[in-house]
Chains A and B, each alone.
Chain A
């Protein structure tokens, strides 16, 4: 295995709020080798977007980032403003959540490519933009359009084309398909996967559709209340999920064979400002015991590259 392109350790994001500090991301760590695909899942509010924004060092006050992010060996949190600006999109790019509204409504697509190239001191000729558009399956004429003249899927593809334009080593894609209908979702995801492979970038894909994710990624990470509660190879996690929350997520999947009602997960996640001691999942966990209310479970290795933060991970 080659050296990881990105290594994250002890990553925390804290927001100062009126009710005290809110820990939106809590001690998250993972590493990706070149070309590897990691999927991050978890219910909304579990800290997925905050995690990728923190990787880009884009958390605004009153938020603060802690921990260590090594991008190709460089400490992202220690970069100067200018070094950081140059690293963005050149080494690590983002397909933001809500890509539908992520293009400037008053600028033509062409200038939104041009200013990316200009910001990184590169020339932006029409051929280069047309070639990028072609790679994501868009006709060259799209360059002369304004965002409102494009469909949701097309805008999403434009965002993907932007994200691969400078051949970064890591692509962070935050729910790149959630606003699209199912057929277009699959097409856009396939395009993302193809171009990601072509440029050899590692990818962190955020999504809440476990089934769609399972087909796309190599490894999966499950987030709950700001923590990465389980990570592992996608096959292992689906075959033998070790954290009760993962089991419930997989159990909540609508199945094609069994025609039963879609099951949600009862209960709500704990408040981020006022965390109970012990395991964050204890309030909703069917297997919680006395120990879970006092002692926070550390991540335990339960298989090759497979970890789960549960006192009973080995037993499961």
Chain B
């Protein structure tokens, strides 16, 4: 039963990935004219001809694209490229490869946005859980109220305010970047603290904006689970309040929370792109923003491909975890 389900879900993931690759392959070819020439001439125009050896680049791209080959051949070659993780060159920073560019940006994004999301998920879910706990102290509501208000403000606005207060008015934190300029990264405390120092404001803006939403979601789910029939029986059975809350309510309410977490993680880069832009944080979102600005077509393509892949993979992992939390899932055929 579970194996069936896993195979089905895996198939869906592969399908989504194949679709993303195909669309990525088709888009430049569907646009009128020669995509390489077009990109390069745009680049020439925007940078006043200071692009380096354009002729060599055109050559290299023609070869890479194999534009003289039949389409099916090009398609297979493209797949071979993708599977060998070769996504071509960056137009703006030639001869940097797209893969290198992404590999350089990825850890920053995973570190900053991933951690910030996990922290706000954990803190918010806990807060929401406590708010729904029948014996929660009254002050908890007062404590939670500011987060609820903050959750109604877009995170980039919070980011701008934090940047203004923390880096411009009070100059406590750096105004941008992911790492102190003057330092060379090493495995020592100065490096770690430098990274944390730079990550504080952007992380805080995400955490502040999201805690309230996680708390509201969890509290809402808990209230609805606590109203279900099986809670009545659990109480009638003489289970302790703690047992009912943790095993009957929290566990059941966590499922939709985890779904939301997986979706958020899957959309990590696109979801919080503005935070990286505001704080010039060297992650994927900022890189994507730069690439779009400089019309660095292949970097955009590469990042979009990685994004679709990461969403497909998180959805798959989530699908694997679901049945462990809610056994009803494997039974549903859809």
Contacts and interface: CB of A to CB of B under 8 A. Distances in A.
Interface of A: 56, 58, 85-90, 93-94, 96, 98-99, 101-107, 115-116, 119-120, 146, 148-149, 159, 162
Interface string B210-243: 0000000000000000001110111111111001
B324 to A, nearest CB: 10
Given A104-B252, A106-B326, A116 B247 contact: no
Given A106-B326, A106-B327, A94 B233 contact: yes
B328 interface: yes
Contacts of B247: 104, 107, 115
Closest 8 CB pairs of A and B: A88-B238, A101-B229, A102-B233, A94-B236, A146-B327, A104-B230, A85-B238, A119-B239
A162 B252 CA distance: 21
B10 interface: no
B8 interface: no
Contacts of A94: 233, 236
A149 B232 CA distance: 21
Contacts of A90: 238
Contacts of B84: none
Nearest to A115: B239
Nearest to B234: A104
A86 B237 CA distance: 9
A93 B236 contact: yes
Contacts of B237: 88-89, 115-116, 119, 162
Contacts of A93: 236
A102 B240 contact: no
Contacts of B233: 94, 96, 99, 102-103, 159, 162
A170 B234 CA distance: 18
Interface string B298-326: 00000000000000000000000000011
B73 interface: no
A165 to B, nearest CB: 9
B252 to A, nearest CB: 6
17 contacts: A85-B240, A87-B238, A93-B236, A94-B233, A96-B236, A99-B233, A104-B248, A106-B252, A106-B325, A106-B326, A106-B327, A107-B247, A115-B237, A116-B237, A116-B239, A149-B331, A159-B233
A104 to B, nearest CB: 5
B184 to A, nearest CB: 51
A105 B236 contact: no
B120 to A, nearest CB: 25
B251 interface: yes
Contacts of B251: 106
Contact of B238 (A102, A120, A146): A120
Contact of B230 (A58, A85, A86, A101): A101
Which label, helix, strand, loop or mixed, suits the secondary structure of the B interface? helix
Contacts of B325: 106
B239 to A, nearest CB: 5
A258 B238 CA distance: 48
B298 to A, nearest CB: 47
A198 to B, nearest CB: 20
A7 B235 CA distance: 22
Given A115-B247, A148-B327, A148-B328, A103 B238 contact: no
Given A88-B236, A116-B237, A120-B238, A102 B328 contact: no
Contacts of A159: 233
B228 A86 contact: no
Contacts of B234: 104
Most A Cβ at <10 Å: residue of B230, B232, B237, B325 = B237
Contacts of A120: 238
Given A93-B236, A119-B238, A102 B229 contact: yes
B16 to A, nearest CB: 28
Contacts of B243: 115, 119
A86 B238 contact: yes
Contacts of B238: 85-90, 116, 119-120
A56 B236 contact: yes
B82 to A, nearest CB: 39
Contacts of B236: 56, 58, 88-89, 93-94, 96
Contacts of A86: 238
B327 A102 contact: no
Nearest to B236: A94
A56 B251 CA distance: 26
Contacts of A89: 236-238
B326 A105 contact: yes
Given A58-B236, A120-B238, 4 more contacts: A88-B236, A105-B326, A105-B328, A119-B238
A146 B230 contact: no
Contacts of A103: 230, 233
A148 B228 CA distance: 15
A117 to B, nearest CB: 10
Nearest to A100: B229
A105 B232 contact: no
A106 B247 CA distance: 10
Contacts of B252: 104-106
